[in-house]
Structure 1
């Protein structure tokens, strides 16, 4: 409901058939069948501006329906003049770390697990040492998921923190390299297709697989 100063009353300059200042109209009372939300109110303001600040109130329901239809048509026409610009391609930069989160505890607090972790070099368990401390770790990319838009120019800078080396591939975008501890390797490519694509260390599986999510163009 859009309510302004006051509704027009019979006998006043706002009576049916008279021109009344827009600021003195209650849209809800003048047009009870019209859902005068912010957009329609703006259209009414434009109508008034084009009519010297005046609006002809409509009394009958048929006329009210006509107003509603006219406003709807005007709204559609206004919307047709606007176009949503497609998201422009951007240059995106991400740093991706090769890390090995690690945890450990002594057997007097937690027993060493009897069930082994899934196979592969990505998970590592070290049995209890002389002091009874055992550890578990996993090699991962951090972050492990990157989201970009289709058409973006994407630069990924991989930095080796843990692990001697990581033979890495981003097959979908033709990238292959070996990342070593203490080194950085940068790749740049155009994300020209939508979908989910992996960046994978061939040694430390199954944990060291990341996802590049390319959102489609609108």
Structure 2
């Protein structure tokens, strides 16, 4: 697809919503992404979203995207796959167009349910004009903006961007580069590439 200038706000966001934080996290997920952002001293606002929590990592938790008091430049979705379509409808209602779907569980599973969910997500994205990264991916690392979903990222920026379908490959290349003294300007993991791809 052609480059959409509206996506540039996701590369230098002033406000990020993270949907799916939990007081009892299991595995890598929303709470860890907050840790990444706080570890890089992200200078914008972080809005955790969960209707059943009040505070996570010292941040006020909001029940839904519509309750956030400002426009968000990037929504990171970390809910179970069956709940993703509902979150995307909330994104449309809130006017949030840039969406990173961290969640897996779509056609990459090889199951009919995953394929059906994927088609539903694509339909919602088309209808709402959403700029989706993923699903099933690590998303963005932009050191100049102090945003990352990759653990252990550094704030020094380099001259080259790295784009990968695979989140594991993106994370491993980034770690190898950092250990070698090389820095990337951006790292993109785009996963199933429903909207944004290489």
TM-score (norm 1): 0.19
Q: Structure 1 or 2: larger helix share? A: 2
Q: Relative contact order (alpha carbons < 8 A, sep ≥ 6): 1 or 2 greater?
A: 2
Q: Structure 1 or 2: larger strand share? A: 1
- Report which of the two structures shows the higher radius of gyration computed on alpha carbons: 1
